[in-house]
Amino acid sequence: MNLRIIYITIGILSTRLLAAQNQTMELTLEQVVNMARLESPDAQTARHSFRSSYWNYKYYRANYLPSLNLSSDPNLNRAINKITMGDGSVKFVEQNLLNTDLTLNLSQNIPWTGGSLFLETSAQRMDLFSEHKYSWQTSPVMIGYRQSLFGYNSLKWDKRIEPVRYQEAKKSYVETLELVSANAINKFFALATAQSNYDIASFNYANADTLYRYAQGRYNIGTITENEMLQLELNRLTEETNRMNARIEMDNCMQELRSYLGIQEDRELRVRISPQVPDFSVNLNEALALAYENSPDIQTMKRRKLESESAVARARSNAGLKADIYLRFGLTQTADNLPDAYRNLLDQQYVSLSISLPILDWGRGKGQVRVARSNRDLVYTQVEQNRTDFELNIRKLVKQFNLQTQRVRIAARTDETAQRRNEVARKLYILGKSTILDLNASISEKDSARRNYVSALYNYWSLYYTLRSMTLYDFERNEQLTEDYNLLIE
């Protein structure tokens, strides 16, 4: 009869739990991961960051394409100006003139030299309002070139750095999504742990309450001592407190997961843990090769080395001889009307060479070069250390992951055994064949085994997505991880 009361009480509790589940949003691990990759703040930040990197890359590419520009700089000048006359005398003359011009320029940067080649055509009109006259000056064809002979060639270095930076941005985006998945898993299992603790506390409270009521009857007939009955009452009060604390913790974890997934409805969430995990192992050499090929960290190391070399080249160009050359050749003419300004064209040439050589700078230029070289050497040292740490992390991660599947199996078996032992210990206590100490020990082992099982599952999936993020490879499906980048920038 007493056993029947216990089972009825547990059945009522289970029914209430099922009813509560019907009013909640039940989520699996896969659903949480997919929602986080779409709606989480981290995922949205990653998309905005990639778009910024994409447009920076487009801007870089545009520097190597021809550009066509139309420009005009009209000006009106009505003033008394000092004018030098033909005989050398100077007079103040009232001027009232309007200058209008139009220039069409086609230019092309030359990445190998850092110079710029341009082709342009222009026309200019000057109106003298005081004399009611106007005239035209045209340059139908003009070709020119400007070049810094010993300066820093930003076009050459950008051609080496920017493609690496863009590849880094693409791989970083995929890596970030995998890290978002890992973060979602963290919150998923935080709620799963809190949810499991609440279920354990509720189950334990129901059992403690039933056993306490049962013990009161046995105490009244003298089959148990007062000390044992007080121990059962203490267990009941402790389990009631544990249940309230577990509920508070579950609500907090639920709110964090709801916020991360962008769920606006104030609905109760309940996560469902699948006991099945993918059964495969990762080859260490394959994982290392994939990590070196796909990881954005490798691209970051390469970019940092190129940027340090670029800084040395910039410092050298700023410290030594500077020379700029400007060449312009073409045809020109002037006339009182526009058609005549395009007839009988005359040659025009313009060559400019500017030179700057520091004679005494008190070692400033040399110091800048030394600083740039020291920073480059520092970057090379840091990159090599980062590469070593990167490889060690991969080795450690692969070994842990390959062992984690077996850990999950052991934890699952331990949980199942502890549950059965607790059932046996409770029945033996009710039949008077066991002590309260044995019952409490079985409850503690049961709860610990369930927590360890949930923790083992969490460690498996955390290692799984961390390994994916470092290699950008899905070892379960044997395929590369990538995204539709064109869809991101639309």
pLDDT digits (tens, 9 = 90+) for 65-119: 999 999 999 999 888 878 888 787 888 877 788 999 999 999 999 998 889 999 9
pLDDT digits (tens, 9 = 90+) for 398-445: 999 999 999 999 999 999 999 898 888 888 877 777 777 787 788 888
Ordered by where they begin, the domains of the chain are 26-63+152-319+357-486 (1.20.1600.10), 70-109+112-150+322-356 (no CATH)
State CA 414 to chain mean position distance.
39
Q: Cβ-count burial of 198 within 10 angstroms (0-12 exposed, 13-18 middle, 19+ buried)?
A: buried
Closest CA to 431 of 139, 195, 223, 205: 223
Q: Are 43 and 184 in contact (CB under 8 A)?
A: no
Q: pTM for this one?
A: 0.81
Query: Where does 129-250 show beta strands of DSSP type E?
Result: 133-148
The pLDDT, as a whole number, for residue 118 is: 95
Q: Taking the chain (490 residues) in consecutive chunks of 10 residues, what is each chunk's mean pLDDT? A: 37 41 77 92 93 94 94 90 81 85 95 92 90 89 92 92 95 94 93 89 83 74 72 83 91 91 84 87 94 94 95 89 92 91 91 88 86 95 95 95 93 92 84 77 86 92 93 92 85
- Cβ-Cβ contacts under 8 Å for 99 (sequence gap 6 or more): 74, 75, 76, 77, 124, 125, 126, 127
| Bridge partners of residue 95, in order along the sequence | 79
Q: What is the DSSP letter of 341?
A: G
Q: What is the DSSP letter of 150?
A: S
The pLDDT, as a whole number, for residue 435 is: 78
The pLDDT, as a whole number, for residue 88 is: 78
